[in-house]
Amino acid sequence: ARMNDYDVRIAHTAGEHIWHVHEDTDEFFLVLDGRFDVALRAADGTESTVELHKGDTFVVPKGVEHKPSSPGGSILMFEPSGTKSTGDRHDGDIPDHVDSTTG
């Protein structure tokens, strides 16, 4: 769906995404079902992971490198229209199991 200049997306998640960055926009996640993890990489290279469960929300600030993963779940995302799911830049090639789409 679209609301004003934002795409509202629902995704069914399983497996690992790729490390990527959205330079100009925050990324909002609401876990609808299951578990959804977001690994974050700080500018100094240190990594941490936020573990989310049904009903949890999390915002990845613009410019922060992150890599979502999930053992299985469903999420709701709000992103400005045209935001690429693999970010403005990412590590390496995009594996076959990762969709690189825009809203």
What pLDDT is recorded for position 83? 76
Q: What CA–CA distance (Å, rounded) separates 32 from 91?
A: 28
Q: What CA–CA distance (Å, rounded) separates 54 from 32?
A: 5
The answer to whether residue 69 scores a pLDDT higher than 80 is yes
For residue 46, what are the domain limits?
2-81
DSSP E strands, the chain: 2-3, 6-16, 20-21, 27-41, 47-53, 57-60, 65-80, 89-90
**Residue 90 falls inside a structural domain:** no
pLDDT digits 0-9 by tens, 27-57: 999 999 999 999 999 999 999 999 999 999 9
DSSP 64: -
What pLDDT is recorded for position 17? 87
CATH number of the domain bearing residue 77: 2.60.120.10
State the total domains in the chain.
Answer: 1
Question: Is the full-model pTM beyond 0.75?
Answer: yes
**Residue 61 falls inside a structural domain:** yes
What pLDDT is recorded for position 87? 64
Stronger pLDDT, 54 or 87, i.e. the higher one: 54
The answer to whether residue 92 scores a pLDDT higher than 70 is no
Mean pLDDT of the chain: 88
**Residue 56 falls inside a structural domain:** yes
